[in-house]
Amino acid sequence: MAEKTTEQLLESVGAVRHGHFVLSSGRHSGTYVQCALVLAHPEHAEALGRALAERLRGTRIDAVISLALGGLILGQEVARALGVRAMFVERDAGGKMALRRGFHLDPDERILVVEDVWTTGKSTREGWEVVETEGGRVVALAALVDRSGGAIDWKVPAAALVEIAIPSYEEKECPLCRAGSVAVRPGSRFKEAKK
Ligand code: ZN
């Protein structure tokens, strides 16, 4: 699937939103990509998962760990295409990322970490840490959208189907806040936006 096609697909289902948002990283932005709207279509989810698996064909992957909630469906579909099992990490009551539900990694198991959107890459790095703590080895990373426009230096093979540089800001530097509008949280963490 060509990059343009994925971008057009996101547009066609209304997944690219414009306004004033608090991203899951806490940063503010005028654009938000709601991947759930495209993954709601199983045939699109399957095709996107296949396309990501194809991009990572040169890397041997034993299992997929996705970041809940945003990465779950995509991770499942990438794992389906790769023929490996799909697990996930999630935040516990204290907000700390953890491998739960009896999921278990074999020593040095080669793991692909899947997230829906990379903004700063912080969540993926947290998931990466959990994998290493659990004895696995992160050998590749994947996302549907790379909002950094390819600016993150991952140091392992990393694939995103859409690379777009969308500006985001710390709250105190946000020009939209300065203009008087109030940011809304489109929802990937459970915290509500302050104010
Ligand atoms: Zn703002």
Across the range 32-45, mean pLDDT stands at: 95
Q: What's the rounded Cα separation, in Å, for the pair 133 and 129? A: 6
**Is residue 174 scored above 80 in pLDDT?**
yes
Ligand 1 is an ion; its neighbours by CB within 5 Å are 28, 174, 176-177, 183
Radius of gyration in angstroms for the set of CA atoms belonging to the chain, rounded to a whole number: 16
CA of 19 to the centre of ligand 1 (A): 10
21 C-alpha to ligand 1 centroid (Å): 7
Q: Report pLDDT digits (tens) over 77-115.
A: 999 999 999 999 999 999 999 999 999 999 999 999 999
42-82 pLDDT, tens digit each = 999 999 999 999 999 999 999 999 999 999 999 999 999 99
Tell me how far apart the alpha carbons of residues 3 and 80 are, in angstroms, rounded to a whole number.
21
Position 164 confidence tier, pLDDT thresholds 50, 70, 90: confident
Tell me, in angstroms, the distance from the centre of ligand 1 to residue 195's CA: 11
Nearest to 102 by CA among 91, 88, 115: 88
Instruction: Flag whether pLDDT at 188 surpasses 70.
Output: no
**Cα of 176 from ligand 1 centre, angstroms:** 5
Contact 159, 56 (CB under 8 A): yes
- Whether the pLDDT of residue 193 is over 50: the answer is no
The reported pLDDT for the residue numbered 194 is: 41
Residue 143 CA to ligand 1 centre (angstroms): 25
Q: CA distances (Å), 35 to each of 41, 44, 79, 190, in order?
A: 11, 11, 18, 17
pLDDT tens per residue across span 115-144: 999 988 999 999 999 999 999 999 999 999
Helix 3-12, helix 42-55: angle, nearest 10: 160
Nearest to 17 by CA among 39, 36, 4, 1: 36
Contact 20, 51 (CB under 8 A): no
Calculate the average pLDDT of the chain: 92
Region of residue 187 (left: phi > 0; alpha: psi -120 to 50; beta: else): left
Residue 23 alpha carbon to ligand 1 centre in Å = 10
Q: What is the 3-state secondary structure (H, E, C) of 28-46?
A: EEEEEECCHHHHCCHHHHH
What's residue 25's pLDDT?
83
Residue in the structure block whose two tokens are 């932005």: 29
CATH topology of domain 3-178: Rossmann fold (3.40.50)
Q: How far is the CA of 26 from the centre of ligand 1 (A)?
A: 10
